[in-house]
Amino acid sequence: MDWNSFLRAFTCPAGRSFPDIRTTFSRRRPLDTLSGVPDEPGVYVLIAPNHEFTYPRRAGAVFYIGEAESLSVRLTQHNVHSAATAANARIGYDVYWPIYEYAGAFGAQFSYSTTPDHKAEEGKLLERFARRFGAIPVANTKHSDFWHRVQVDA
C-alpha cells in the first residue's frame, strides 16, 4: 500500500459513518530517524515499508496504531526494541511484543500527529482502520476488547 492509499484508509467513503478524524499526519520516515519528533502527546502509525499484511477486507502495510504522552519517548522505545529484535539481540526475552517482532522482521516506518486528545484519537483511528480493513492492525494486541466498543453500521 502506498502512502496515499494509507491516508485514504482514514477518509470517509460516501454513505459510511466513521468517527470524525481531524488528524494531520507527518510525512512517513524510517523508525530510526527520530530527529525532530516532538516531546508532545499524539498518535502514530507504524508501517512495514515493503510488506503488506493480509486483512479480511484488503491488504495493508500498517501493523500498529498507537498513542503516547510523548511521541519522542515512545517512538524511541519502539526503535530500541525493534532494532534489538532485528539483530536477534532481545533484552531479557526470547520473543518480544508483536509490535517489535513485526518491526524487526519487516522494518518500520512511522508517521505521527500531535494531539492533546491522543487516547480518544487512537480509538478513532483504530475504529476507522477496522471498518476499512475488517480488523485492527496485526500488532495491536492490547486492544482485545476493542470489538465490544465498535458499533456496526446498519
Predicted pLDDT at 25: 86
Predicted pLDDT at 90: 81
Predicted pLDDT at 17: 46
Predicted pLDDT at 65: 95
Predicted pLDDT at 69: 98
Predicted pLDDT at 24: 80
37-41, Cβ contacts within 8 angstroms, sequence gap of 24 or more: 37/71, 37/72, 37/75, 37/112, 38/71, 38/72, 38/114, 39/70, 39/71, 39/72, 39/73, 40/70, 40/71, 40/114, 41/67, 41/68, 41/69, 41/70, 41/71, 41/114, 41/115, 41/116, 41/118
Q: Catalogue all structural domains in the chain, each as residue range(s) with its CATH number.
A: 3-11+22-141 (3.40.1440.10)
Predicted pLDDT at 9: 58
Q: pLDDT tens string for the chain (154 positions)?
A: 445 555 555 555 544 444 455 568 888 899 999 999 999 999 999 999 999 999 999 999 999 999 999 999 999 999 999 999 998 888 777 777 889 999 999 999 999 999 999 999 999 899 888 888 999 999 997 655 554 454 444 3
